Structure 1
């Protein structure tokens, strides 16, 4: 059995621990109920949410603790 690793931030070049899960989907590619997940640290949460929101992809943001 492998050890579960804590998620790291999805921002390019960031290796910080992620506290947030940004759930999104691209309606041109995914069914409405499908959710992809990017993880974010506190420093990158707003910029990643903005990136997804501007494209109409962001569905919600939750704590990574809610994913377990």
Structure 2
């Protein structure tokens, strides 16, 4: 697909894509987290991660002492 001469590349062949900047690999992991300084107890954010980026994304969150739960993508609620 092209918009104003910009190509968006080949379509992805998987449903969940890794959240790491520049990565287009299929995500196998869900990192469910919140920033306690700005999010209430019931507010959660989810980053998706491929096998290669799971640890680096989790380390980014745990280094900031954000509560983190790591699940497989299949464990996510719809």
TM above 0.5, yes or no, is yes
Unaligned runs of 5+ residues in structure 2 are 1-13
Indicate which of 44, 47, 69 corresponds to 1:60: 69
**Runs of 4+ residues over 6 Å off in structure 1:** none
Please report the TM-score for the alignment, with normalisation by the length of structure 1.
Answer: 0.87
- CA-atom RMSD in angstroms: 1.2
Structure 2 CA distance, aligned partners of 1:7 and 1:30? 25
Please report the TM-score for the alignment, with normalisation by the length of structure 2.
Answer: 0.76
Asked which structure has the greater RCO (Cα within 8 Å, sep 6+), the reply is 1
Unaligned runs of 5+ residues in structure 1 are none
Indicate which of 18, 22, 25 corresponds to 1:16: 25
